[in-house]
Amino acid sequence: MPRASDTSLPFGDAVLRAPPGSPWKAWQIDPDAERRKVSLEALDPGARPFSSGDKAADRAAVERLATEIDELQNVFHPDGRYKLLVVLQGTDTSGKDGTVRGVFGRTSPLGVRTVGWKAPTEPERAHDFLWRIHQAMPGNGEIVVFNRSHYEDVLVPVVNGWINPAQTRQRYAHINDFERLLAETGTVVLKFMLHIGFDEQRQRLQDRIDDPTKHWKFSLGDLDVRQQWAQYQKAYEDLLEATSTPWAPWTVVPGNSKTHRNLMIATLVRDTLKALKLRFPPDDPRLKGLRVT
Amino acid sequence: MPRASDTSLPFGDAVLRAPPGSPWKAWQIDPDAERRKVSLEALDPGARPFSSGDKAADRAAVERLATEIDELQNVFHPDGRYKLLVVLQGTDTSGKDGTVRGVFGRTSPLGVRTVGWKAPTEPERAHDFLWRIHQAMPGNGEIVVFNRSHYEDVLVPVVNGWINPAQTRQRYAHINDFERLLAETGTVVLKFMLHIGFDEQRQRLQDRIDDPTKHWKFSLGDLDVRQQWAQYQKAYEDLLEATSTPWAPWTVVPGNSKTHRNLMIATLVRDTLKALKLRFPPDDPRLKGLRVT
């Protein structure tokens, strides 16, 4: 029986591939490598590969890009051939919420839907771990942004030892198969790992503790998770190695600079939407010269 | 990256395998064959491999089995380790509704849920073809019976030429990957193809036309589909060849005899539930000797 289909994407391979020589290339986990090693230590969270060198100019560029994304969404929707899933993963304080606001803050909520994933509920736990994820998928012409995702299921249980390495590998395979189904049926899957440093996290958590208006973003459990920093980094490296596929590759986003993080993600989302060569659906010929009376 | 996991089923392989020498063996599409040819012509729809030879005795056996399935469901639910999906596929009049009534008619509706699949709605068509299927999956301790299924998506579009052979193979692979996810996360998937002869269908359709109480089961379009009999048989053969996997094998059920059809499916469902070695969850030790006051 066929175990896996030849990947043939309705929107063409190039859409998901960092072009050689682009600043994206060094940060995309090579989807063509059969075996690869990912070292997050070797990827500087303070890097700014997409920066113009001028912070104010970068900020203005983010604003322009966010507007451009809104305009592209206005064609993406009626075009209706594709779906877009943007996955944001990263440790606490890595900037997932800030990315949603910065990159999609100018897009009409009609055109983009955000899903924030928490610990699974009882009915969710009674099903496979991709059941709730599949339900939340975008339909044709829809953009969905995941704040956390199914990748939590190969992070938290791994770090806490609730599943063993064989089960983890099984989940990687389930995820790859699932994302292949999505991609081959018209979903562009962009996966961003927001990468901040240990010290940057310390400052951001401290800030949440010191600022009463940020208390709602903080829970004491975040400090326990911080104690497991090294284990989480390792689990991230493992999943980046295992699930950066030709049909749904990962990009690591250096995240110590919030402006640069938004600049990089907004650029890549804009470029991806442009690469789709969106168009309005073919005209109804009866509309030609029609006068409303 | 891992493309596919080694199949390791939580309920053990044996649950899904027809034992050598059993009457089931000749009717299960061998899940271990790397390449196989399926010929429905070679499988007699009038055969009765599970029959005692005495129709009244067979009828009584179906009643006993249906009761036994209800009793097993009463443990299946609290056991909660597994999910059961029963897929019923077959042409018009092949006996899908009759199977649901005959095999599960004694099971409390609390314990079994039937889903009848029709042509997809607009929101369903805006997603991949497994989106609506995944949503309907049983949770732990649940039994779901599909009257038609995702296999319609490799029948109707194939026979009508809406998808090409490469797309059909891609769908087979999507289905196999999807069912592997289900099986590896605890869903027992039993797939039955109800196999009736061309002449038997003629009689049953005629009966629906002649009996006003059966008109609701008939539509004129059924006659058009009957004109495509040979193409549908071929599409069934192709899907049986492509999707009878070790984690979700197909069984062809000779269906000209309704009693025998129910006998065979009820026997296999009962045997499968028994093979799971169901048990009530471990006792809470605090219950020992507890007196209600």
Per CB-CB distance under 8 Å, the chain A contacts of B177 are 3-4, 177-178, 180-181
Residues B141, B147, B151, B154, Cα dihedral to 10°: -160
**What residue of B is the nearest CA neighbor of A6?**
B170
Beta-carbon contacts of A135 under 8 Å, excluding residues fewer than 6 positions away, are B131, B134, B135
Q: What is the pLDDT of residue B3?
A: 46
3-state DSSP assignment of residue A30: coil
> B4–A2: do the CB atoms touch at under 8 Å?
no
> A8–B170: do the CB atoms touch at under 8 Å?
yes
Does residue A81 carry a pLDDT above 50?
A: yes
- Which carries the bigger pLDDT value, residue A169 or residue A34? A169
Q: How far is CA B268 from CA A64, A206, B115, B276, in A?
A: 63, 61, 20, 12
The ipTM is 0.91
Task: Give chain B's contact residues with A (Cβ, < 8 Å).
Answer: 1-6, 8, 83, 123, 126-131, 134-135, 137, 139-142, 166, 169-170, 172-174, 176-178, 180-182, 184-187, 241-245
Does residue A38 carry a pLDDT above 60?
A: yes
Q: What gap in Å lies between CA A112 and CA A104, rounded to an integer?
A: 8
CATH number listed for the domain at residues A53-279 = 3.40.50.300
The 10s digit of each residue's pLDDT in A174-185 is 999 999 999 999
Q: What is the pLDDT of residue A6?
A: 64
Per CB-CB distance under 8 Å, the chain B contacts of A5 are 169-170, 172-174
Per CB-CB distance under 8 Å, the chain B contacts of A166 are 8
**What residue of B is the nearest CA neighbor of A77?**
B126
Beta-carbon contacts of B275 under 8 Å, excluding residues fewer than 6 positions away, are B11, B14, B15
Smallest CA–CA distance, residue B198 to chain A, in Å, is 28
Q: What is the pLDDT of residue B35?
A: 80
> B181–A176: do the CB atoms touch at under 8 Å?
no
Q: What is the pLDDT of residue A35?
A: 80
Total number of residues shown for chain A: 293
Ramachandran region of residue A46, left (φ > 0), alpha (ψ -120 to 50) or beta?
alpha
Q: Which of A37, A82, A113, A128 to mutate to test the interface with B (most CBs of B within 10 A)?
A: A128
Going residue by residue through chain B, which has 293 residues, state the pLDDT in tens, using 9 for 90 and above: 444 556 789 998 889 999 999 999 999 999 988 788 999 999 999 999 999 999 999 999 999 999 999 999 999 999 999 999 999 999 999 999 999 999 999 999 888 999 999 999 999 999 999 999 999 999 999 999 999 999 999 999 999 999 999 999 999 999 999 999 999 999 999 999 999 999 999 999 999 999 999 999 999 999 999 999 999 999 999 999 999 999 999 999 999 999 999 999 999 999 999 999 999 988 889 999 999 99
Domain B50-277 has CATH 3.40.50.2300: no
Indicate the residue type of A95: G
Q: What is the pLDDT of residue A106?
A: 95
Q: How far is CA A234 from CA A35, A40, A119, A221, B283, in A?
A: 17, 8, 21, 20, 39
Does residue A34 carry a pLDDT above 80?
A: no
Q: What gap in Å lies between CA B275 and CA B270, rounded to an integer?
A: 9
> B3–A3: do the CB atoms touch at under 8 Å?
yes
**What residue of A is the nearest CA neighbor of B124?**
A139
Smallest CA–CA distance, residue A199 to chain B, in Å, is 31
Cα atoms in the 13 Å half-sphere on the side-chain side of A29: 31
Q: Where are the domains of chain B?
A: 50-277
Q: In the β-sheet with B143-147, what is the strand arrangement from edge to edge?
A: B112-116, B143-147, B83-90, B187-195, B250-254
Out of A134, A140, A172, the one facing B2 most closely (by C-beta) is A172
Q: What gap in Å lies between CA B43 and CA B28, rounded to an integer?
A: 11
Does residue A5 carry a pLDDT above 70?
A: no
| The residue to which tokens 């018209």 are assigned | A186
Q: Which pLDDT band, with edges at 50, 70 and 90, does A8 fall under?
A: confident
Are B148 and B116 spatial neighbours (Cβ–Cβ below 8 Å)? yes
Q: Which of A177, A180, A187 to mutate to test the interface with B (most CBs of B within 10 A)?
A: A177
The 10s digit of each residue's pLDDT in A189-210 is 999 999 999 999 999 999 999 9
Q: What gap in Å lies between CA A77 and CA A142, rounded to an integer?
A: 6
Per CB-CB distance under 8 Å, the chain A contacts of B113 are none
Per CB-CB distance under 8 Å, the chain A contacts of B174 are 5, 180-181, 184-185
The 10s digit of each residue's pLDDT in A231-269 is 999 999 999 999 999 999 999 999 999 999 999 999 999
